[in-house]
Amino acid sequence: MARYLVERTFPDGLAIPADDRGAEVTRGVVAGNAQHGVTWVHSYINPERTATFCIYDGPSPESIREAAATTGLPVDRITEVSVLDPYFYH
């Protein structure tokens, strides 16, 4: 399974409440992704909450795009990545 960095832009900002509604939203994303064999690993968000940088595992960039269409999330760019661990050489 390949790993991808998925960049997304939210011009009006991303608001996921830290309550049961937010948990329901994220569960919906996880379930929508699963329909396409995609796993959301974790995300980073900028301070303005207008951009996210998400790590996903999935079979292909196309599957990531299909999952995003299912969940209603934007996709600006998908880049296949691998881990570069600074402690690997120690």
pLDDT in tens, 3-13: 999 999 999 99
Q: What is the pLDDT of residue 64?
A: 98
**Structural domains in the chain (count):** 1
pLDDT recorded at residue 62: 98
Query: What is this structure's pTM?
Result: 0.90
- Please report, for the domain that includes residue 11, its CATH number: 3.30.70.3090
88 domain-assigned = no
Q: Domain containing 40: what range? A: 2-81
Q: Is residue 77 part of a domain?
A: yes
pLDDT at 88: 77
Q: What is the per-residue pLDDT for 17?
A: 84
Q: Rounded to an integer, what distance in angstroms lies between the CA atom of residue 49 and that of residue 25?
A: 16
Q: Which residues of the chain have pLDDT under 50?
A: none
Is position 89 within any domain?
Answer: no
Q: How far is CA 78 from CA 17, 28, 59, in A?
A: 26, 21, 13
Q: In this structure, is residue 86 part of a structural domain?
A: no
Q: Which amino acid is at 52?
A: T
